[in-house]
Structure 1
Amino acid sequence: MESMIEEIYRSQSRRVLATLIRLLGDFDRAEEALHDAFAAAARTWPADGIPGNPFAWLVSTGRFKAIDTIRRRARFDASQHHIEDSLYTPEATYIGDMEPIEDDMLRLIFTCCHPAIPADAQMAMALREICGLTTEEIAHAFLVPAPTVAQRIVRAKGRIRAEKIPYEVPGHEALPQRLDQVLHVIYLVFNEGYSASSGENVVRADLTAEAIRLARLLLALLPHPDVSGLLALMLLQESRRAARSSERGALVLLADQDRSLWDHAKIAEGLALLAEAMRAGEIGIYTLQAAIAAEHARAPVAEKTDWRRIAFYYDLLLTAQPSPIVELNRAVAIAMAEGPAKGLELIDAILERRELQTYHLAHSARADFLRRLGRRQEAIAAYEKALSLCRQEPEQAFLRKRISELAATPERQ
């Protein structure tokens, strides 16, 4: 029973939180109610059984726990009475078994992405509230101190309260102005699911599925080539999920994946959406990334991958969105096309600028180029540097395996 409750927490807690935020009108109150609801579930479900609709049970329980808390506080603080009264609106009293017409997760994303909230706080709050990442995990992702992230989130919540920012999907006239931020948040949610920043699993399927679901909803609300491009990218990446780890949970590199395990229905849908986005004229950053993913999807075996074409797409992406991460990926593509020496030269140039010094994948890629060049001791040192920065257990196991293999290999003469 405990494992089943944990699984429901992983798969449902963020949706429960989003609905509680709508019903209670406050992030902190909703988070407290969420924890109270799951604590109640841990006490009652082992005896009573899991309800037919755990989502509705958790929302109802969380809401009533919040009302009880407010009542207790209202005995000592008269200002709390109006909050209790506001929780008995017609909208708040109906939960039922049906999904809201305006999806609460999408509503939460638009709230996090309100223009009144600074961009860095938007991203931090979205990862905290939608992905459930800890402050430390978000800080690691953004390469900033954890207290800085915590302050951004607190200020963003304060801004929402002070300016009475509504928990809603805006009208159609306001959607285009908010699109870039919302797409970026959905992209971050997917990335956290596609390659978990920490923990024992390579992927978090709940997050990748949620990001794809939200992109489908957004595409229905606002047909736009950038939405099509993002959905195409996520479907093409998600198509490889079953092949990305072994039965024991070990990381499997793209070149070593069993391509028969790829989801060809997702590939077909992703390619169709990519073609649709390409026909629109101006090609956005997600469409370019989808085009890169499509080159992998089209290759029947790893050796048939058109790395020169992938490097060309990275050139375009670097022009549209200059960043050291894009430079790193471009370096890997060029190394696959022209050899590891060229890739090593490009990565060393990035690291010499003091960029990506704390990004484990930069050191892992550098180690791989050194390994392929036969520079064993340098490769071991680079792998050890990557291992010291890595927080995901399957990646850590992969890096340790590489170090052990190199330690047992004689130096090239």
Structure 2
Amino acid sequence: MRKSKVFTVLSVMLVAGTVLSACGSGDSSSSSSASASPTPGTPASTAKSTDTGKQVTLTVATNIVGEPANVLQGIAKSFEQENPNIHVEFSAPGAEYENIMKIKMASNSMPDVFSTHGWAKIRYGNYLLDLKDQPWVSQLDANIKPAVTDESGKVYALPIDQDKSGPVYNADVLNQYGIKVPTTIEELLQACEDIKTKSGGKVTPIHIGGADSWPIGQFFDFMASSYFVSGNKSFGKELKDGSFDWKNFDQLPQMFLDLQKKGYLNKDVLTAKYDDSAKAFAEGKVAFGFYGPFLIEEAKKTNPNVKGGLMPIQAAVAGDKTTFAGGEKTTWGIWKDTPNAEAAKKFVAYYAKPENVAKVAKAQVLPPGIKGVAVDAGDLTKDFETYKDVPVFPYFDREYLPNGMWDVMCKNGQDMLAGAITPSQFSENMKKEFDRLRAAK
């Protein structure tokens, strides 16, 4: 059995590597697609410059999903039309992106252009070309600039937009049942109970597409800062120096499990996907989504009239402040060893155009990463103004957990909801991997 499993894993890796390489074949007849094979590959073009007129193939990969990925792909197609000698192999593999990129880093065979998904400096820094000579650098917004630059002046990536994220709510549902936007965990739990009771179970308080795993990680990433960092009692120092007592973590997985036990989560949480969350939100069958503003835009594909609102992450303790999670969102970095550097720079600069920045930021319903770009945030324009002074904390896993812990949070969350582990075992598993990954680093 063990040999069979090993053979299967090796076979999958071999196939993945073969397909990844195929993406850079330079075949200009193949089409780019946001739902293409999750296979950003090694470029193998016959030209290293766009000035020769020879065909250049750029491999481009993003972690972005849903409608925002379609917007990115649409801009890539427009770029191709304006640059007929540059073909773009576009890949948006979703949940598999991080694992694919780890394999690519291990083999030093990166896509020409890729999304840094919050890790421009810490994880991908040694793989990225310095973009400080690009004309758009002078227009970087001051709020996001520290996330993609360092003290030496290196610019790691273009931040097309910047994350200022928190849970979202269906405004019609809250209005129908007389629910105020909750600002504390206690208020959130009471809102869930009221919605469940008043709707007779017809409306799910919180919908999570747990089959995709990353929505569970998103929930924990949002709430962990509230529980352990942003309040009156902060464990930030202990988390960074490795002395954090992981028994303190028990309260967060316990809270998550209680949501399930009390019927506040969708019953199919372990089989539902992100698309199901967006559809339920659009149909008024769910009140809250712990995703970010992009869930609203995804829901509008089903129901253009759905009214959504953004709310800060609830405070875990009464008297603490609400917060947002922030940092990098939609970015493009360039592999330092790409043989197509000039074409890649041209591609990235195309996304820095104000009209393209506006398209991407609107799709994500987020502020732009470039100064002087007006973004139509629709229903959320008022929310961004209302909450403009709410502090923004870096995503918990990016700031306080070693590389690799994201998958640990996701998997343990799934296992706990399935009844395979308890909240305390969740914390024990987090500690074990935390210590192991810190030691490895």
Task: Return the TM-score normalized by structure 2.
Answer: 0.25
Larger Rg: 1
Higher strand share: 2
Higher helix share: 1
Structure number with the bigger relative contact order (C-alpha 8 A, sep ≥ 6) is 2
